Amino acid sequence: MKINGTPYRSVWRDAQDPRLVHIFDQTKLPWTLDILDLRDVEAVAHAIRTMQVRGAPLIGAVAAYGLAFALDDDASDASLEKNAAFLHETRPTAINLRWALERMVAHLSPLPTHERAEAAYREADAICDEDVKVNEAIGRHGLELIRALWAERRLVQDRINILTHCNAGWIATVDWGTALAPIYMAHDEGIPVHVWVDETRPRNQGALLTAWELGAHGVPHTLIADNAGGHLMQHGEVDLIIVGTDRVTRQGDVANKIGTYLKALAAHDNQVPFWVALPSSTIDWRVTDGVKEIPIEERSGDEVTHVHGVDEQGHPARIRVTPYETKGANPAFDVTPARLVTGLITERGLCDASADGLQTLFPEQAEQP
C-alpha cells in the first residue's frame, strides 16, 4: 500500500544490506513514520513483544526473519530449536507465529548447517511474498460479498456501511490486510463504502492504525467508541461486519481482539452479517473448542488505566484515566463461537464457520485429529 504516494510493505529487506530488515514502529503511528532496523533475533523478539510489529500474519513473517538472523550467528540444530522457541514465546494467541516458525524449522532442519542461514532468508522472503498473494485473494473473495450487498441495497441507500474492529489492514500483514483488503478493493472499484472504525480500547488499534490506513487510501470512515456498534446496528446503520482473526479452530471458532465477541452478539441479535477474513495460516487445525483451548494473552493492566497519545504539539503523552489506586485487568483477545459467525473469507473462497465448511475448502486437512 502507499504512504504519500510511495508503495510500501510492512516488512522488507534492505536494498543494500540483505541481512538488514525494516519495519514501521507501529507504536509511533499515526503521528510518526519511524522505520526501524532489525538485525538480530533479540531485536525481533523485542519488536513483537512491545508491539512495534503486531497483527497475526505480520508477526509470523517478522519472526521468520528473526530465525534467519539467529542462524547467521549459529546454524546448529540446537540454535534452530532454541531460537524458534524463544521467538514463539513472544506472543501467545496468534497462531501465525507458530505456523511461520514451524514452516521455517521444517524447511531448514534437513539442510546442512552451512546452507541454513541463506535458505532461512529466502524462506522468510517466500512467507512474505505468499502473504501478499493470499491477502489479495482474500480481498477478491470478500469483494464479492460487498458487491452483492451493494447490488441489493443501492436503490434504497447511498452507501454500504461496514463495521470493523481492531486493525486487520495492510499494516497488520505484509500487504493488503485481511478484513480491510475487500474494503480497499470495493472502494477502488467505485462502490461507496463507509467504515465504522471501533476505537479498540485499550491499545486503540482502530483509532490509531485503521483510521490512519483508511484515511491514507481515501476510504470514508468514522471512528466510534467501542460500545457504539450495538446501537448503530439496532438503527440499521451497519450493513456488514468484517474483522480479522488471530486464530480460528477447525470448527470455526474465532479468536480476535478483545471486544470482537460482543460485536458478534450484537450482530446476531440484529441480523447483521458477521464475516471473518483470514489466511489459512491462521487456522489451528489442532484445536477444536476455541473458548477452552485458545490461550488468551494477558497484557499489563496499565494499558487500561492509562491512555497514550500526543499533545497538540505532537509530543508523546501518557495519561491516567482512573483513580490512582485503581488496577486494570487486560485480556487482549476473546473467542467468538462459530455459531455467531456468518462465514469465513479465506484465500480459497468463502465458507461456513464450521468443520464441514473449512474442510470443503481445505480437504487436505481432513485427516488430522
For residue 84, say whether it is annotated as part of any ligand binding site: no
Q: Is 173 in the site for ligand MRU (CB under 6 A)?
A: yes
Rounded CA separation 224/231 (Å): 11
Residue from 175, 252, 166 nearest 210 by CA? 166
208 makes contact with ligand MRU (CB under 6 A): no
Shortest Å distance, C-beta 278 to ligand MRU: 8
Q: Confirm or reject binding of residue 259 to ligand MRU (CB under 6 A).
A: no
Is residue 52 involved in binding ligand MRU (CB under 6 A)?
no
Q: How many residues sit close enough to ligand MRU to count as binding (CB under 6 A)? A: 18
The count of other CB atoms within 10 Å of the CB of residue 312 is 6
91 is in an annotated binding site: yes
Residue among 206 and 357 whose Cβ is closer to ligand MRU: 206
The reply to whether 290 sits near ligand MRU by the rule CB under 6 A is no
Give the x/- contact pattern for ligand MRU in 132-171, rule: CB under 6 A.
Answer: ----------------------------------x-x---
- Residue 118 or 129: which CB sits closer to ligand MRU? 129
Single out the residue of 63, 127, 134, 172 in contact with ligand MRU (rule: CB under 6 A): 172
Binders of ligand MRU among residues 64 to 123 (CB under 6 A) are 94
Interface pattern 8-37 for ligand MRU (x via CB under 6 A): ------------------------------
Question: For residues 348 and 138, what is the distance between their CA atoms, to the nearest angstrom?
Answer: 8
Site string for ligand MRU, 296-335 (x = CB under 6 A): ------------------------------------x---
Residue 256 annotated as binding? yes
Q: What is the CA radius of gyration of the chain?
A: 20
Instruction: Kindly state whether residue 256 participates in binding ligand MRU, applying the rule CB under 6 A.
Output: yes
Residue 150 and residue 144: Cα distance in Å, rounded? 10
CB of 279 to ligand MRU, least distance (A): 8
Question: Is 311 an annotated catalytic residue?
Answer: no
Residues 6+ apart with CB under 8 A from 42: none
Q: Which residues pair with 2 in a beta bridge?
A: 7
Query: Closest by alpha carbon to 88, among 58, 108, 106, 64?
Result: 64
What is residue 137's three-state secondary structure?
Answer: helix
Q: Residue 294 is placed in which grid cell?
A: 485458545
Helices 95-108 + 56-73 axis angle, to 10: 30
User: What is the SS3 string spanning 170-230?
Assistant: HHHCCCCCCCHHHHHHHHHCCCCEEEEEECCCCCCHHHHHHHHHHHHHCCCEEEECHHHHH
Known binder of ligand: residue 359?
A: no
**CA dist., res. 189 & res. 203, Å (int):** 32
Write down the least CB distance from residue 205 to ligand MRU, Å: 5
* Interacting residues toward ligand MRU by CB under 6 A: 54-57, 94, 166, 168, 172-173, 177-178, 205, 244-246, 256-257, 332
Binding-site residue ranges for substrate: 54-56, 91, 205, 256-257
